[in-house]
Structure 1
Amino acid sequence: MPLLQTFAPYSDESGLGYYRRLASANSLWKWREIASLANVTNYKSSLFESPDFVASQLELEPQWTRMASQQDAASRALHRMHRQRYDAICPCCLTDEVYLRQHWEHAFITACPEHGCLLIEKCPACSNWLSPEREHIELCPCGHDLRTSTPEPASSLHIWLSELLSQGGSSAMRPSLKGVEPQELASLIKLLGQHADPTLPHARKNQSLPTTLGTALEFLAPVEGMFAQWPKNFEAHVKARIEAGKKDARTVNSLLGHWLSELRKIAEHPPLKIFLETTLDVCQTHFNGRLGAHDKTSAPADANFKRVSEAAALIGVSRDTLVKAMVEGKCAYRPMRYGTKGVCNEVCLREIARIQHNRAEWVSDTAACAWLGVSPSVLKSMAAAAVIRFDAKWRSDINKCGPIRQTSLDKLYEALHQFSDVRKTDEETVGWSEFTSRRMGDKSAIAAVMQAALQGEIKAVKVGKKVGDFAFLKSDVSRYFGTPLLEAGMSISQLAKATGWKDESISHWINQQLLEAEQIQLRGQLCRVITPEQLLRFRQTFIPLSDLAKSMGTRSSSLIDKLADVDIVGAKKLPNGAQRGALIRIADLGKWAMAGLQLSRGGLFKLHDYA
């Protein structure tokens, strides 16, 4: 018998919901009258098993009934996750269009992703369940219009999960499951929900699943906690399962048992592989047994660890050296149980890479000499001067493959190049490669020169591609080498011994800049040297009062009283008021001598002629 009103189903309309909407539009009592008019039994299966026959009897388009049969088959494929005893609806969606969405029949779909609210399964007015046998979809048998109901807001997890299960896609980030199949995701949620408590034995295969919205919210509560702050909380759940597992388990399969075997099956779906990978990563850190064989869905997690002998070969040291480093705490490792009794230590690839990186920063003596362009003796002086990083005990450190740090060589070259003052000069130069004790003598002076060059106190006038090619003015370098200068002149003590002058008087004259002196380093100590030229200029300008008194056969103290009108310079006042180290300018002495001669000869000489 044909219907008065016919229309096509919506693309996301439930199969039975389509026939219920047809019955309501044609003022029929439930969908069973539709079955009677179609000359089939009053069973839902009768409407969907012969869609073409039903279409011919009700004068519907065959593609409409076929689509309804396909939607019903999809719902029945959910098996125990099919919500069919009661309806769960979104009032906001019914306000837009009055029809039952096919995804509302999924037991794990608890929210409407479009409106961000929880579904409702009871009438707000009478608190009765929404029966699938009611006459009008939008009305409760009590007369309440369900479209006027105010639903509760849903949490982000329920919205995200409902969106994935209904549409197969989501923009949320906990975690990204792009392209996930709803059925595979439902299997994962089922596994996590049924085994939320790691201390309980695994669930039976026929264990009941939520059939109502309330039980679904309760079932998903622990799952929501696992997905919050992904992946931190899920990793904590895996860690709890490891702690609750068999204490004598030697493989991860025996440790996690049924839960892991089910997770492996689910991880065959690529978007869900991340859950197995995260689980194995946690097992690597917190379980000291074997991870076992892996299927094609995941890389062998144990490949991230190497046994001690293999790790030593990768690092480039002997096994004994690596074992010593592990004992001293310089190399992280984990003990792993093998077979039934054996224990073997393993090193993570990240730890191996870290040691390899650290060792690459250190070079051998030979490599350093080649890079610097200097001889081993110059390199030894550079190490003593601390212008490069040198570690004589490098062999006891697994993080070093040589005594010299490469970065210190780079910094030295950059500093010399930065402070350089390249110019053409006719003066004699000394190259960095010539700073040897055999040629230059004083080792401490060599160290001082190198330090001065590093700090920019002396500047290279020639540069090159290697440090050994840098050259400096010999005049700049020679002031750091005290021995040759000391051989040409005299120190204060030597001058005092040769002249009879007191050391403190000579030092005072130098401080008063009356006597010139060169400052050098001798055996690491500062030393002042007076050259013959400097001593000659001093004697041509001044005469010590002590020398004058000695030549006159008197004492300095009595002579200074007789020379009251003569300018006395360079005298150091003592605490008792006396003076020591007085000097008289030779020009003043000659001036007063001519004045006395003029007076004695009656003015035959004029003083200004000799002034």
Structure 2
Amino acid sequence: MFKLLSRPSPKLDESISSYLIRSAQSNRINPKYIYKLLSVYEDSRMHSFFLDTNVISEKDLNLLESILGFEGELLQQLFIVSFDESEIYYRYFNANVNMNSICTRKLKVCSLCLREKNYIRKIWSLINLTSCPIHSCMLIDKCQKCSRSMTWWNSDIFRCSCGHEHKNSNLAAANEESLYLSMRIFAICGISTNHLLNIKYNEQFSVVINEMDFVSLNNSILLVSRFMCECKNISHFSGVNYNLEEFSTLQREAIKVFSDWPNNFYKFLEEVKVSSSNRKFNNIMGDFGNFYSDLFDARYDSLVLLRKGFINYLLDNFNSYSCSNLIRIINMYEELVISGIRAARYLNVSKEKLIRLIVNHEIEGQISKKAIGINIITIKKSLEEYKSKQDAENQQMLSYLEAQSYLDVGLGIDDIVKYGYLEYSYKEYDFSNAKYIKKQSVDVFIDNLRSRVTNQVTEESLIINFQKVVNIGQAHKHCSSGRLVQMILNEELLPCGIGAGIGLNVLLFNRMQVKDFFRRKFNESQGNNLRTIEVARLLGVKEHCVNFWVKIGILEATCHEEFSFKVYHKVSIQKFKETYMSLDEIKNEYFTNIKISIRKLEEDFGLKAITGNKIDGGFKYMYLVKEANNLLSHVKG
């Protein structure tokens, strides 16, 4: 094994392959001499110098560390590391990327970047990156002198075999769409640039593209691009002979599909449709062919945006399609269409009445004759609109969620119902057994509480609402929404004013009065007992020390009758103080002028602790008062 004499510094965003080749060139040796030392090439012929996605072993990492003179941890960062066992997903700076987004054969560079710093950026290997957002130019993938493709199969990635240096290549301006896409890729990966794009593109695409993660963005652009040309698979875009300029043009048209969403996407779907003469099936599959198959391939969950757009397209053209799996396709993410029987139940009408509603265009739906009878499919939104009109004629009712919002107490509504101040009811035609509350009863309930307001003058900083009073009461283990309502109606605790808004949170309270009220309530329930924290303060120890004494049985505690915590009778505390004393108390009582240790107490005076760290893990050494008096009375003072 050898060590390189010249050791250039690696760049944080550099490809490991670039760094190895650059290091070899600075020492005037063929990169193969370095690559052949790695175990990954022990049993296989070396075809490519692209090493970025290879799994690097600890042995190889140590070898590179020795040859190159830089820490393995730094070199590891130059690799594109897979983070799942299938080696399908890789970590790319701050982004997770899929394997089919990485170009392992074609080499792309920005000549201006090479002029400034002669190394290959790791991010250039992403298939969808066709331009440099730093310099607003197209990347190059061919020698501008001899037109030979730039690949990772060449040992000199900075210069063509014809002698042309790629950093001296002429630049071509990138189209705004491809440049925008490159900016998004840089941003997702966490690589910032100071270059600003025309603001109209950020506005146009922010609705969909700006919200995508990398995998969704990559797969969506590649899928749309494929069906704009004759590509059979995604890997075609990374082929060595594929023209980067042509791909950039495809990208431009693909990105336009995502602007003015979903209108341009719908136009794209119309263009994707298979002609009537080439249809194999008289259904959705027949209309959209391979695009439909690829769009709903289970492997590509990242295509959710396109799938939902396709589903909305089907809804907009609902009566143009009729097939057995239409409901399953449209209801993939949420229920948007409902079959006939369920639709009839939803409206509480007969099947015949439902058919009449569809025929009269009061409800949007399909009616088709099958061998086994009539098949009915309705759009849920249309059902909801019709039902809402019918419900408006009924007595006004609040659903469970509406009542929550109207009262503005969240789940506290159940507690208020439990105390009997409101009552749930159910609609006869609603088969879901959903809960409702009469709006009139809610209004009467709120007015009744408002009538208890005392209209006190209170400083603004001391004002709190209904929910905060409940929170304070819960902290004292003495309140809930229903219980607070009871206190107001019983005039135990009254609001001092009314604020803006709706529901119970318009009731305002004086925070100091509320705290005093609950403190009194708690003290009344506690009586003469002490809590753990109060006992700890009284004995001058930590709470966990008190809990340990209870555990070993030298301090007596009982459970509170109303709350789930321990309490201590004052008699038991006094008994404890009379029965036990700590090491510090012994020192203060008997050895005020000399130092004394636990060991000396045992060896010289025969006084042994009943608890302590080395005895039972206790937090404090304790002794029997009676035994201490008998053994130490002659040394007192």
Q: TM-score when scaled to structure 2? A: 0.45
Compare CA radii of gyration and give the structure with the larger one: 1
Q: TM-score when scaled to structure 1? A: 0.47
